[in-house]
């Protein structure tokens, strides 16, 4: 008996040693593959994940279908940290998790900021049923910043030869309400090449293919004559290579806007783009720029309408997170295009889906809702969700209000994307409430990531739709830069809430900024794009 026990123990030990050893080797050479138990992956600092099963949750009121499927493709989509590149900010909020709107650091604690350059856009002064849109940028309107490799820079159509000579020259790419996409020198604000145009207002943020193959993805915000949909441009040839009509028979909703910012998986080349017609497009884009016909995820929820997706989705590994105008937030397996979980977000969702990988190696989702369909007054929540299961962990609420401005609904609540802190602020998450307590005012809150308790708050003179950004000094101290729609700009200590600088300008700030080291790029309503230096 004893001998049998020893034999079993001996072979079991060999198996465990071999299994763990194989797991460690695979982890070194194929880090995206996980065979070790979850607790071991977490001890080793890995981001353990698995293909989520649609059996993990029932969907009594949800019906969905995948249209024009190209057949079963088991190639896994894996959105990890490829977007969080040292070479640029390629999409809204800087990565697929929508949590990295800045790059680099500043030398020390800042004391102020000032305008370094400004660029004047064209203006579209045509009168449409949706008003006059002018130029500059609106919500979300975030600029991109790309530090092109020399070989890519040399391929750019019509690029300034002097810009090519700059070894680490960065290019600002920004879509404007006038319908143009501009290319500017990060340091000077001068054009690096001729703009391209869709001849219709661009409200959202454009996307650059993170493979740096020259493709630029643009969503249209408002129809003002001609086409209504999304576009792909080849920046190497200066030509439009694709137009996707948002007004199509497959859609449940006949509204063709694409304000939601798209993402491209660098490994597989799949382009994911939600639309305001209520569908999610999944399109294979090959390295040679061949664009396949899209698969279309179409869905309905019983008793609801307005399924358009205006907010930007977040992605983590094979999972995508989407919030729609009807108040649904759902998780979709991007490989299989099947839902994993769905929850009620109580109202229209315009703030982006933000994912934060915390110290336990698990992904958490932060989201907020507007006050729109609730009525003139309602509750706006910032919520923390277990990203794998959809379980709510905490919520923080404010009473907010919407109103009618020139006959248009002006929603209150949370329209700015939530911002997870990092480095010394890794225990905090920041959010902005708009039109608090039936007023035109706003409030920035810093919440404890674990408990949701308010650690400090900043009453704002006016409301804000623009997302705040986090800037760090070399010691890891955090500073926040944010704006409101009546022209105020704030620079605060992100750990204490101390206001370092607050300036009134004559601009309307709706779009979200980005920063690289001590330079911040931000567009205004009207006809201007600005560069600020933090000092």
Q: Which domains does the chain have, with CATH numbers?
A: 1-48 (no CATH), 352-504 (2.40.128.630)
pLDDT score, position 344 = 94
Q: Output the 3-class SS for 152-168.
A: HHHHCCCCCHHHHHCCC
> What is the three-class DSSP state of 129?
coil
* Tens-place pLDDT, residues 189-242: 999 999 999 999 999 999 999 999 999 999 999 998 889 999 999 999 999 999
DSSP 42-53: HHTT-----PPP
Q: pTM of the predicted model, to two decimals? A: 0.89
**What is the helix, strand, coil percentage profile of the chain, to 5?**
10, 40, 50
What digits encode the pLDDT tens for the residues 151-182?
999 999 999 999 999 999 999 999 999 999 99
| pLDDT number for residue 69 | 86
The reported pLDDT for the residue numbered 47 is 37
> Which parts of the chain have pLDDT scores under 50?
30-33, 41-42, 45-56
pLDDT at 28: 53
470 DSSP β-pair partners: 480
Residues sharing a CB contact under 8 Å with residue 465, sequence separation 6 or more, in sequence order: 139, 415, 416, 434, 485, 510
CA distances from 499 to 160, 229, 378, 420 (A): 41, 42, 29, 19
pLDDT computed for residue 27 by the predictor: 52
Q: Give the ranges where 148-257 is alpha helix by DSSP (H).
A: 150-155, 161-165
What tokens were used for 273? 């783009």
Angle at 158 between CA 155 and CA 161, to 5 degrees: 80
């Amino acid at each position: 008996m004893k001998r049998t026990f020893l034999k079993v123990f001996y072979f079991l030990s060999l198996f465990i040693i071999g299994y763990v050893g194989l797991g460690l080797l695979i982890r070194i050479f194929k880090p995206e593959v996980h065979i070790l138990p979850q607790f071991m992956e977490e001890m080793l600092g890995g981001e353990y994940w698995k293909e989520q099963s649609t059996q993990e949750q029932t969907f009594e009121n949800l019906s969905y279908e995948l249209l024009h499927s190209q057949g079963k493709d088991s190639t896994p989509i894996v959105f990890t940290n490829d977007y969080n590149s040292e070479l640029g900010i390629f999409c809204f909020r800087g990565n697929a998790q929508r949590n990295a709107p800045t790059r680099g650091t500043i030398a020390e604690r800042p004391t102020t900021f000032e305008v370094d350059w400004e660029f004047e856009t064209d203006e579209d002064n045509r009168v449409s049923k949706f008003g006059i849109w002018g130029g500059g940028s609106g919500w979300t309107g975030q600029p991109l910043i790309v530090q092109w490799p020399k070989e890519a820079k040399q391929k750019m159509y019509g690029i300034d030869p002097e810009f090519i000579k700059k070894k680490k020259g960065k290019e600002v790419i920004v879509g404007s309400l006038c319908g143009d996409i501009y290319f500017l020198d990060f340091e000077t604000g001068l054009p690096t090449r001729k703009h391209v145009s869709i001849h219709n207002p661009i409200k959202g943020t454009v996307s650059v293919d993170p493979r740096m193959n020259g493709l630029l993805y643009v969503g249209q915000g408002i129809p003002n004559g001609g086409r209504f949909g999304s576009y792909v441009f080849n920046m190497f040839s200066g030509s439009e290579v694709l137009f996707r009509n948002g007004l199509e028979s497959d859609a449940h909703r006949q509204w063709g806007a694409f304000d939601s910012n798209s993402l491209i998986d660098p490994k597989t080349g799949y382009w994911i783009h939600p639309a305001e017609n209520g569908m999610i497009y999944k399109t294979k884009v090959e390295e040679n720029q061949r664009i396949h016909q899209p698969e279309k995820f179409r869905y309905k929820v019983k008793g609801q309408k307005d399924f358009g997706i205006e907010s930007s989705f977040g992605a983590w590994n094979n999972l995508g997170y989407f919030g729609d105008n009807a108040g649904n937030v759902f998780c979709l397996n991007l490989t299989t295009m099947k839902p994993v979980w769905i929850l009620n977000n109580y109202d229209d969702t315009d703030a982006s889906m933000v994912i934060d990988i915390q110290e336990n190696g698990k992904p958490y989702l932060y989201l907020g809702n507007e006050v729109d369909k609730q009525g003139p007054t309602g509750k706006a929540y910032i919520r923390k969700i277990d990203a794998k299961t959809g379980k709510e962990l905490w919520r923080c609420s404010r009473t907010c209000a919407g109103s009618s401005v020139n006959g248009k609904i002006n929603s209150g609540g949370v329209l700015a994307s939530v911002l997870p802190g990092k480095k010394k602020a890794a225990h905090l998450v920041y959010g902005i409430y708009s039109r608090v307590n039936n007023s035109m005012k706003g409030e920035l809150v810093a919440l404890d990531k674990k408990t949701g308790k308010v650690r400090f708050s900043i009453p704002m003179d006016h409301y804000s739709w623009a997302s705040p950004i986090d800037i760090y000094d070399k010691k890891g101290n955090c500073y926040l830069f944010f704006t409101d729609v009546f022209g105020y700009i704030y620079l605060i200590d992100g750990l204490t809430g101390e206001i370092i600088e607050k300036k009134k300008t004559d601009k309307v700030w709706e779009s979200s900024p980005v920063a690289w080291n001590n330079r911040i790029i931000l567009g205004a309503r009207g006809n201007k794009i600005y560069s600020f230096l933090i000092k």
